[in-house]
């Protein structure tokens, strides 16, 4: 997916406020009702409808009017929220080229103020098989709505927590820098995925190192579960770094033995095919190589001295709870049934990896214009991480009604002008008359409400918009007012 961060520089404070309001609404809604967005955002001068149109124009939101008029974040919208937060935190200042694309992630180079280049991984769970996810995954069926933001955020948090813990225990992994929403920032590995490497000086040594890592991980109570040539990076000195941790499980997992065997099998198969290594005939079939057999033996699950739960403390320190781990593991489980073994095969990923790595122009888009005074996205306005069922009925009515706001018919005009001074209303969404109609209706209602001629729009049960005005009001207001 292309990540055009250009628009990020031109988005106003109100744009981000409304974008965050949609994110908040997505706690309990797959599609967030427009009226609810307006109430959560509570723009000082009104004009939510114009901001929504601007966000729609930049593809940060998706409009849906099939059941009721509403919006949801797109992955790009979610990317912008995470990137803005990380830029405001000073984690990086510019976004560069894409350096990797996985089944459910995109990886970009980012640069800090002092020019250090890091890697940013944006998780995209559900991108590949949204329908399959929706119909098959039992635990999701029991939730009020499928929440890919929640899953992507969990995947990122899990990856960050594992990377940090493994780093602390001396495993060769990227250095975990920071994490926000579905985004993990880590050190950039100077090397190539093993899948792109056609020749090695010391294939035996590399093979043993890699197999040793699988064993050491298991001794630490962990199984990678996707340990293959796509997730092992190797540099010019043939130093190995392992990446990609959202699917890791504990050795106490009920399928642990199968996962371990599969990881080991992938390594054996790859080295046999690519580097003509030979192994014990009993362990690897189809051995047609002429080379002498090595003494390498297949690590057995039962032989590994395990220290179960070894990293639990470290993981919790990163904010990853047991429940988070359970949730994401359920997700991984089904993947395994569906995709079993697929990652062992060479796929078109190789071509994609080639393409992305061959891109030579380092073209960093500076994010320096993004920062606006007092414009910090609160880290904890991070609604997607909340389990939808837990939060049912809490947020939506937690916003001040608009009666005290000054709203003019043309309020917000300035904010919706783009960088060329065009008014987005003039040239956008003429092709969606229904949307225009609904939005102007909404605007009229807001204006009337503001002038006190009309009762403030109340919660609507059809939107699962229950709950009373409460302390949540002030909490959300505080969060929103702080930027």
- The Cα–Cα gap between 332 and 337 comes to 9
Instruction: Please say which residue, 103 or 239, places its beta carbon nearer to ligand ADP.
Output: 103
Question: Is residue 263 near ligand ADP by the rule CB under 6 A?
Answer: no
If the CB atoms of residues 70 and 174 are measured against ligand ADP, the closer one turns out to be: 174
Most distant CA pair in the chain, distance: 89
455 within 8 A of 461, measured Cβ to Cβ: no
The H-or-E segment that residue 329 falls in is helix 322-339
- What is the C-alpha to C-alpha distance for residues 148 and 145, in angstroms, rounded to an integer? 9
- Smallest separation (angstroms) from ligand ADP to the CB of 226: 7
- Residue pair 96/110 in contact (Cβ under 8 Å)? The answer is yes
Site map 335..374 versus ligand ADP, x via CB under 6 A: ------------------x---------------------
Q: Which of residues 194-233 bind Mg ion (CB under 5 A)?
A: 230-231
- Write out the binding residues for ligand ADP, residues 174-203 only, by CB under 6 A: 174, 186, 188-189, 193
| Cβ pair 386, 141 in contact under 8 A | no
Distance in angstroms (rounded) separating the CA atoms of residues 422 and 437: 21
Q: Rule CB under 6 A: say whether 105 interacts with ligand ADP.
A: yes
Of 238-246, 255-263, 327-335, 458-466, the segment contacting Mg ion by CB under 5 A is 238-246
Report which residue's Cβ sits closest to Mg ion: 244
Closest C-alpha among 260, 250, 263, 384 to residue 325: 250
Q: How far is the CB of 141 from ligand ADP (least distance, A)?
A: 25
Contact partner at residue 242 from Mg ion, ligand ADP, none, CB < 5 to 8 Å by partner kind: none
- What is the secondary structure of 367-413 as a DSSP string? -TTT--TT-PPPTT--GGGS-HHHHTTTSTT-S--GGGS---TTTTT
> How far is residue 291's CA from residue 210's CA, in Å, rounded to a whole number?
20
Q: Does 80 bind ligand ADP (CB under 6 A)?
A: no
Site string for Mg ion, 24-63 (x = CB under 5 A): ----------------------------------------
Of 226, 244, 263, 335, the active-site residue reads 226
Nearer of residues 17 and 121 to ligand ADP, judged by Cβ: 121
- Quote the least distance from Cβ 244 to Mg ion, whole Å: 4
Print the binding letters for residues 208-247 with ligand ADP: x by CB under 6 A, - otherwise: ----------------------xx-----------xx---
Closest CA to 55 of 365, 433, 424, 474: 424
The least distance separating ligand ADP from the CB of residue 217, rounded to whole angstroms, comes to: 16
Task: Give dist(CA 99, CA 107) in Å, integer.
Answer: 6
Binding Mg ion (rule: CB under 5 A), the pick from 35, 106, 109, 244 is 244
Least distance (Å) between residue 59 CB and ligand ADP: 22
Query: Measured from the CB atom, is 96 or 193 closer to Mg ion?
Result: 193
Q: How many residues bind ligand ADP (CB under 6 A)?
A: 19
The reply to whether 418 belongs to the active site is no
Q: What would the DSSP string read from start to end of 246-260?
A: TT-EETTSTTHHHHH
User: Can you count the helices (H) and strands (E) in the chain?
Assistant: 16, 14
The answer to whether the CB of 94 falls within 8 A of the CB of 109 is no
| Three-class DSSP category at 438 | helix
Taking CB under 6 A as the binding criterion, the range among 97-105, 163-171, 305-313, 409-417 that sits at the site for ligand ADP is 97-105
CA-to-CA distance for 347 and 227, rounded, in angstroms?
A: 15
Q: What minimum distance in Å lies between the beta carbon of 8 and ligand ADP? A: 22
* 121 binds ligand ADP per the rule CB under 6 A: yes
Residue 241 CB, shortest distance to Mg ion, in Å, is 13
Question: What is the nearest approach in angstroms of Mg ion to the Cβ of residue 354?
Answer: 15
Q: List the single partner that 424 binds among ligand ADP, Mg ion, none, CB under 5 to 8 Å by kind.
A: none
Residue of 170, 66, 180, 70 lying closest to 123 (CA atoms): 180
Q: Is 102 in the site for Mg ion (CB under 5 A)?
A: yes
Q: How many Å apart are CA 61 and CA 50, to the nearest integer?
A: 13
**In the complex with ligand ADP, which residue's Cβ is closer, 48 or 228?**
228
Which of the stretches 98-106, 274-282, 334-342, 421-429 binds ligand ADP when contact is defined by CB under 6 A? 98-106
Q: Find the shortest distance in angstroms from Cβ 104 to ligand ADP.
A: 5
* CB-count exposure of residue 309 (10 Å: 0-12, 13-18, 19+): middle
Alpha-carbon span 475 to 479, nearest angstrom: 6
**Per-residue interface string for the shown chain with ligand ADP, residues 138-177, x marking contact by CB under 6 A:** ------------------------------------x---
Interface ranges with ligand ADP (CB under 6 A): 99-100, 102-105, 107, 119, 121, 174, 186, 188-189, 193, 230-231, 243-244, 353
Interface ranges with Mg ion (CB under 5 A): 102, 230-231, 244
Residues carrying an active site annotation: 226
């Amino acid at each position: 997916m292309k990540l055009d961060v250009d628009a990020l520089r031109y988005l106003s404070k109100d744009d981000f406020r409304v974008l965050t309001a949609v994110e908040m609404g997505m706690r309990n809604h797959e599609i967030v009702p427009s009226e609810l967005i307006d109430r959560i955002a509570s723009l000082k001068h009104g004009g939510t409808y114009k901001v929504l149109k601007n966000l729609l124009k930049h593809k940060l939101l998706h409009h849906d009017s099939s059941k009721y008029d509403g919006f949801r974040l797109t992955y790009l919208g979610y990317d912008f929220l995470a990137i803005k937060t990380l830029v405001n935190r000073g984690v990086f200042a510019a976004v560069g080229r894409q350096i990797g694309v996985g089944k459910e992630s995109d990886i970009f180079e980012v640069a800090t103020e002092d020019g250090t280049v890091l890697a940013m991984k944006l998780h995209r769970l559900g991108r590949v098989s949204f329908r399959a996810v929706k119909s098959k995954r039992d635990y999701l069926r029991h939730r009020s709505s499928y929440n890919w933001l929640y899953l992507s955020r969990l995947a990122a948090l899990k990856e960050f927590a594992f990377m940090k813990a493994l780093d602390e225990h001396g495993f060769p992994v990227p250095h975990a820098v920071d994490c926000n929403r579905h985004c993990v920032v880590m050190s950039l590995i100077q090397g190539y995925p093993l899948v792109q490497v056609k020749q090695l000086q010391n294939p035996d040594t590399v093979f043993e190192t890699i197999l040793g890592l699988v064993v050491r991980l298991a001794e630490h109570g962990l199984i990678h579960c996707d340990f293959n040539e796509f997730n092992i990076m190797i540099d010019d000195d043939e130093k190995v770094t392992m990446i990609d941790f959202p699917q890791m499980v504990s050795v106490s997992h009920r399928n642990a033995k199968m996962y371990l065997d599969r990881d080991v099998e992938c390594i054996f198969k790859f080295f046999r095919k690519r580097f003509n290594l030979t192994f014990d005939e009993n362990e690897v079939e189809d051995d047609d190589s002429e080379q002498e057999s090595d003494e390498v033996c297949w690590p057995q699950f039962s032989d590994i001295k395990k220290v179960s739960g070894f990293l639990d403390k470290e993981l919790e320190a990163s904010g990853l709870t047991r429940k988070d781990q359970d949730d994401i593991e359920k997700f991984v489980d089904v993947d395994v049934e569906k995709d079993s073994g697929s990652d062992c095969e060479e796929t078109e990923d190789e071509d994609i990896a080639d393409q992305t790595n061959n891109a030579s122009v380092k073209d960093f888009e500076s994010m320096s214009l993004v920062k606006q005074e007092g414009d910090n996205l609160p880290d904890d306005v991070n609604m997607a991480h909340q389990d939808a069922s837990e939060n049912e009925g809490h947020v939506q009515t937690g916003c001040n009604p608009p009666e005290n706001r000054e709203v003019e018919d043309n309020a917000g005009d300035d904010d919706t002008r783009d960088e060329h001074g065009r008014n987005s209303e003039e040239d956008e969404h003429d092709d969606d008359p229904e949307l225009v109609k609904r939005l102007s209706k909404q605007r009229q209602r807001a204006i009337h409400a503001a002038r006190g001629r009309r009762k403030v729009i109340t919660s609507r049960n059809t939107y699962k918009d229950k709950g009373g005005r409460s302390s949540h009001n002030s909490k959300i207001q505080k969060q929103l007012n702080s930027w």
